[in-house]
Structure 1
């Protein structure tokens, strides 16, 4: 499935809010004081470690919202793998604007690329099985659309986007309703026919109860691979099976081998390490290299 970019209408408010947080009430006072208004530069954005790129639209918007005269030329696309030294984009325009937008652009690109990178690692670990890796609602407040996009860029799938687009009956819902079957009955009576219903279970007897009344998907929480295999047998294709809990690149293969359809991983979005991406001024880099050569010649 090809990666479909998010509409600008979704991305721009997040980038704009981040820039406003950084600019405050006075703007970039350092660049305004140090850099002449007419000065222009070219910079390169390059990977400093291996990973998968995501967030180029957000980075591009950070620059153009600060100064429409800035132009970003992309050499790679979201979803593509990078190795250290790979140039992701070349950006040119007024130097003040480049410096003002730099941190916001790199924050988005590094964070979202980090999510895409760890998602790709899980996807690679379960390749050859029928399972897919999915994210959860454990996202950074205000950034859910971008973070879920980054999961797709890394080869993963999205779980529900929010509380309104699917029913997920969790353990506390079950406890208050008085049981799995009763919680499912109430949910089915309370939502329209287009809404799918999933129920979380952590025991096989709860799974049996859910399958007796019928459900669209079951979330098998914190089960061992052997328990998951037994659960898949109980479901027997009558519902989508989703495993969650204690998922790492090292454990994912055994979980997927149980035959589940999905593996959901919360830390993809809430704890993915940032991918190290740098932004270097071409002119400054060339000057530094020239200086190093002159020093070497003097020696």
Structure 2
């Protein structure tokens, strides 16, 4: 998945963020102090070690506000960057830079935080064959940005939305009465149109699922010892996924069980913002006097 910054829905998220910060009357401080013809160059500096994400979003915040802005960078999303690295330069009208500054920083700080936390998790399981997946637990209207940040951190994306695949969860099973009933009804509705994943909470549900051979079985909130026992029952032609309460402390232990996928929202829920700053390098005209 690659961000298409010409996508109007992505532009809309950025425009809404700019409008939220600039307000209905504009930047009353900068418009009072800065001459409209003043031009500047600013440097984007990272103040701690990080995995970079959101650079294209950062650039497009400025460009959507002022198409004449020039943003240059030799870095790219997914790069591991050291503290005090200059990541990008931003040149153009000083007023435009100051108006867009906080919004642009908010995006790149947030998304780089997710990428950095994702990379920490990936490194904890790098000696196994497990594939780390995200979830749909994302910030409203930020899913595409956050899922791209997760890719930058080295993990993979689970389904993007409800229309991509069938995932039969506990509430579906409760409504239908059994795993068997749910899988059979899905197959009656769709045939082989959609990949089918089913969540199981215990060995009884696992045995029901195994008889009907879904594409993926998700073990939700299983203890590690029970998961190890369960995986021995699953044939090679059914993929397996562990999910629920998986975090930075226990992910390595889950990875050692032999499960194929681990899905977690930890990288979104527990990511800390990365500290970036935008510093003036050159001002070509003086402020108003």
Please report the TM-score for the alignment, with normalisation by the length of structure 2. Answer: 0.93
Provide closer, same or farther for how the CA distance between residues 257 and 31 of structure 1 changes in structure 2, counting only shifts above 3 A: same
1:114 aligns with 2:113: yes
In structure 1, the partner of 2:261 is: 262
Q: How many residues align?
A: 281
- Aligned-residue offset at 1:271: 3.6
In structure 2, the partner of 1:5 is: 2
Counterpart of 1:279 in 2: which secondary structure?
A: strand
1:54 aligns with 2:65: no
In the alignment, is the contact (CA less than 8 A) between 1:217 and 1:240 conserved in 2? yes
1:73 aligns with 2:72: yes
- Aligned-residue offset at 1:154: 0.5
1:142 aligns with 2:141: yes
In structure 1, the partner of 2:98 is: 99
In structure 2, the partner of 1:24 is: 23
Structure 1: distance between partners of 2:269 and 2:13: 17
- Aligned-residue offset at 1:192: 5.0
Counterpart of 2:136 in 1: which secondary structure?
A: coil
Counterpart of 2:232 in 1: which secondary structure?
A: helix
Deviates more, 1:175-184 or 1:242-251: 242-251
- Aligned-residue offset at 1:229: 1.6
Q: Which runs of 4+ in 1 moved over 3 A?
A: none
In the alignment, is the contact (CA less than 8 A) between 1:12 and 1:58 conserved in 2? no
* Greater relative contact order, per chain length (Cα 8 Å cut-off, separation 6+): 2
In the alignment, is the contact (CA less than 8 A) between 2:38 and 2:94 conserved in 1? yes
Deviations 1:88-145 (A, max 9, x none): 1111111111110011111111111111111111111000211111110101111111
Structure 1: distance between partners of 2:193 and 2:111: 31
Task: Give structure 1 stretches of 5+ with no counterpart.
Answer: 285-299
Counterpart of 2:6 in 1: which secondary structure?
A: helix
Name the structure where helix makes up a greater proportion of residues: 1
Task: Give structure 2 stretches of 5+ with no counterpart.
Answer: 284-289
Please report the TM-score for the alignment, with normalisation by the length of structure 1. Answer: 0.90
In the alignment, is the contact (CA less than 8 A) between 1:54 and 1:78 conserved in 2? yes
Structure 2: distance between partners of 1:125 and 1:174: 33
